[in-house]
Amino acid sequence: MNKSVAKLAWRNLRRNRRRSMATGMAIAAGFTAFMIAAGYAFRVERVLANYTNYALHVGHIGIYKKNALEMFSIKPNEFALTMEEQNAITAAVQGLSNVEMTGRYLTSQGLMGNGCKTFPFVATGVDLSVESRVMNHPNLLKWNDHITVHRYGQPIWTFPEDMGAVALSEGLAKLLGKTKIHEELAGGKPVMIADCSAPNARELFGADANVQLAAGTWDGTLGALDGEFVMRFSTGLVETNNTSVVMSINHLQKLLNTDKVTNVSIWLKEPLFMSQTLSELKSRLRKTAPSLDVLPWTDERLSPYYSGTMHFIYVLVGFIGCVLAVVVILSIFNSATMTIIERSQEVGMFRSVGYNRKTIRSLFILEGLFLTFASVIAGAVLGLITMFAINLLHISINPPGVAGGIDLQFAPNALIIMAGATIVGILGMGSTWIAVSGVVRQNIANLVSGAHR
């Protein structure tokens, strides 16, 4: 009986081709729009998530002193992690199978000089051994391959620690007049500038890769160290592109005369199980270091660009999804209503030869389902073709916080497509059920005579 009902449903669908086509095209167009929006959202989410996790050193879990996110910049010494706390974190992470790696980070402000002028900087001190693994992580390179385009020079971890290698943002390097990196000036000694106001002074700034970093030490005096400019990078934001420095954490600790760090970042093998790892870590640290905050990377204080951007995109995609849902519901409801009214005598005839209400309802629902299914497939194919075509164009866009911008690319995701198709199918079935329920409940005599119209 089911197989024959299905055959009947498919045949009925083809009886009114125009209506079926019109309804199907509306659903297909809506699903195409949804797919493109979802494909864009998925790609942006992956790009920003991996950029945040790896390039911005946030990790999947961040451990800070309590209130450090608000107070560290004002009272760094008080809100930094002490050696004891760092050791407690190391001990707590031991044995957690989902942890891939951990890294210590220190941030500070200061002045960077070229022998004549100084400019403010904000430095991030990184664990060199961890930094190489973070920056070469497959997830980062898969979704942010553009990142290497906006870096010039050798990474700081390829140099001996005592050399004081520093990577400078493009704007800061320009302000300092550092036009060449260490590699381009190999073997060159620092060039002393006798007269900073001389016409050739700017040229002399670029004659060596030597810079001086000065900062207030955490024990209250002034500290200064040499640095060697080895790499230039872009931060993607004008404000930070004129001030950012990346250097070895040991070098920065020496400058500040401290052994403390700002935070510890933890990367997971399986980010999907972050909640469990987070809970376990919190539970362990509650006993050994209760003054710490253990935060997921999705906390908007750790990932403001990711959180802000994705909130907007989710709202946008959600809106498009709602519009699609309304299109599906109204299209199917309209089509089903018109069909059932026109075929009410046919329904009466089916009832009179023994088809029960449930079977007739199933007949119309199957018609709606086939129409929706065919429309979704058409929409998906059209969506894939459109995404593929736009990907080939390599259109560049500049979301905030992403160095050098990214290509407008779409990444279709099978799960999202199937979930969307399932929802559309359910909506289609539901709309049909509502449309036909009333008519199917009529008595046979009314249906056959057409009196209920």
Partner 1 sequence: MKIAALLIANLITVGNALAAEPTSLEILKDADRSRGSAAVAEGISWEVVVHSKDGSSENTISHDLKVKGNDALAEATAPARNKGETMLFNDRNIWFFKPGLKKPVAISPRQKLMGQAANGDIASTNYARDYDGKIVGSDKIDGQDTWKLELKAKTKNVTYDRIRYWVSKKDRLGIKAEFLTVSGDVFKRATFEYKNKMEQGGKHFPFVSKMVITDALNANSVTTLDYKSPRADKHADAIFNVNNLIR
Q: What is the DSSP letter of 191?
A: P
Which positions lie near partner 1, rule CB under 8 A? 111, 113-118, 190, 192, 194, 210, 212, 214, 216, 219-222, 224-226, 257
**Min CB(205)–partner 1 separation in Å:** 11
- Containing H/E element for 120? strand 118-126
State which residue, 111 or 274, has the beta carbon closest to partner 1. 111
Would you tell me how many other CB atoms lie within 10 Å of the CB of residue 448? 17
**Min CB(130)–partner 1 separation in Å:** 28
State which residue, 122 or 390, has the beta carbon closest to partner 1. 122
**Min CB(176)–partner 1 separation in Å:** 12
**Min CB(411)–partner 1 separation in Å:** 48
State which residue, 71 or 222, has the beta carbon closest to partner 1. 222
State which residue, 114 or 242, has the beta carbon closest to partner 1. 114
Amino acid at 160: P
State which residue, 111 or 434, has the beta carbon closest to partner 1. 111
State which residue, 6 or 191, has the beta carbon closest to partner 1. 191
Amino acid at 409: Q
Structure tokens at 399: 């979301």
**Separation of alpha carbons 247 and 107, rounded Å:** 10
Q: Strand 165-169 relative to strand 244-248: parallel, antiparallel, unpaired? A: antiparallel
**Min CB(204)–partner 1 separation in Å:** 11
Among 311, 325, 354, smallest CA distance to 27 is for 325
**Min CB(278)–partner 1 separation in Å:** 35
**Separation of alpha carbons 277 and 452, rounded Å:** 63
State which residue, 191 or 323, has the beta carbon closest to partner 1. 191
**Separation of alpha carbons 270 and 302, rounded Å:** 19
**Min CB(231)–partner 1 separation in Å:** 19
Structure tokens at 291: 């003054």
CA distances, 382 to each of 29, 34, 386, 390 (Å) = 8, 11, 6, 12
Tell me the CB-side half-sphere exposure of residue 76, using CA atoms within 13 A.
21
Among 371, 372, 345, smallest CA distance to 442 is for 345
